[in-house]
Copies of this chain bind each other. A is one copy, B any other.
Amino acid sequence: MRFRIESLGHHVPPHIQTAADLSARIGRSEEWILSRTGVAERRVSEEPMHIMAAHAARAALGDGPPPDLIINASLTPIQLIPDSSVFIQQALGTEGIPSFSVHATCLSFVVGMHTAGALLSAGAYERILLVSSEQGSVCRDFEHPESAALIGDAAAAAVLTRTPDDGDSELLAFGMTTWPQGASLAELRGCGTRKHPNDPDTSPGDNLFHMQGPRIYKMTVRRMVALYRQLLEEADLAPEDLDLVVPHQASGPGVAAIARFGGLEPAKVMNIVGEYGNCIAASIPLALQRAHAEGRIERGSTVLLLGMGAGLSVAGALLRW
C-alpha cells in the first residue's frame, strides 16, 4: 500500500501524577512502582477524550485542508451511543465529514492506520484524520496496583494521504494475530451486555481495568518475536536495516524486551513509558510524534510500529516513511 503519514500532532494533559503521588493511593512504594512498571510519571486528564482528541487533531491538521474521513482509533469511549468519532468531530467544529471508529484496544492506531491506508489505496478517500485519545485514568482500579500504576492519559493524531507519484512512502509489511485464549488476561468486564451497569450483579470492580502483567508478557513474547521475524522477512530486511522501532508503551519491562529480542541497540527503540505510562491506543502515535519531532524519522526512514493489545493480539506495521 502506497500511503504516507503527512503530519502528526499530540496532546498531553498538563496535570502530572508522579510515582510518589500515586504511592499512597495504591499502597506500594515509589520504588515498587518504578521497578514493576517503569512509569515515573503519567498525565491525568480533566478533559474528556474527544476534547483531547481535538487538540491533537488540530495540531496534526495545521493549516492544511480538512480531512475527508475521521477515524477514531481509541479504546476509551465517551458514551456507548453515538460513536466517539462523532464527539471528536463536534469538538473540531466540523460537520458532514464521515466518521467512525476502529477498535482493537491498544492496537487501535496500528489497525486504524492499516485500514486508512487501504481506503486511501482503494481511492475511497484522499485525506484521512486518524486519532487516538485515551482517558484511561478514569478506569484505574487502585486496588490493583500494577495496572493502576501503568495507565496514563494522552492523545495523538495523524493525517494520512496517498503517496505522491514521486514519493517512496509505503507499507512494507503488516501482520496481526489474535488469540482468544488470552481474553481474560486484560479485561474491563463492564460497560457491555455481560455486566450491564444496571445489572445488580455488576460490581464497581467490573467497571475498572484489570490485567495480569506477567501472564500477558509470557503469552505475548513468543508471538511478538514470530511476528517481528515475519515482518522483516516479508520486507527482506535485517534488524540493522531498521531506523527506528516504535513499540506500544505497554510497560518499562515490555519496552525493554523489544531491543533484546529484536537484536537492536536500545537507542533504536522509542521509549517514553517512564514519562507518560501506558496511554493505551495513544501510546504508539504519541511515541511516533515524539520521534518525528526529534528528527529521528524522516522521509525514507524504515520504521516499525509493533505492539500488543488485550484480546490477546499482536500487530506490527513496517513503514518506509
Contact = CB atoms under 8 A, between A and B. Distances in A.
Contacts of A80: 75, 77, 139, 188-192
A99 interface: yes
Contacts of A111: 100
A202 interface: yes
A206 to B, nearest CB: 8
Contacts of A77: 80, 191-193
Interface in A188-234: 188-198, 202, 204, 207-209
Interface string A297-309: 0000000000001
Contacts of A192: 76-80, 84, 191
A188 B81 contact: yes
Interface residues of A, number: 76
Interface in A64-98: 70, 75-87, 89-90, 95-98
Interface string A176-192: 11111101001111111
Nearest to A136: B193
A90 B180 contact: yes
Interface in A91-115: 95-105, 107-108, 111, 114-115
A183 B76 contact: no
A208 B193 CA distance: 11
Nearest to A76: B193
A124 interface: yes
B105 A81 contact: yes
Interface of A: 1, 48-49, 70, 75-87, 89-90, 95-105, 107-108, 111, 114-115, 117-119, 121-122, 124, 135, 138-139, 174, 176-181, 183, 186-198, 202, 204, 207-209, 309-313, 315
Given A49-B193, A95-B179, 10 more contacts: A77-B192, A78-B193, A79-B189, A79-B191, A81-B188, A99-B313, A100-B102, A100-B108, A100-B313, A138-B196
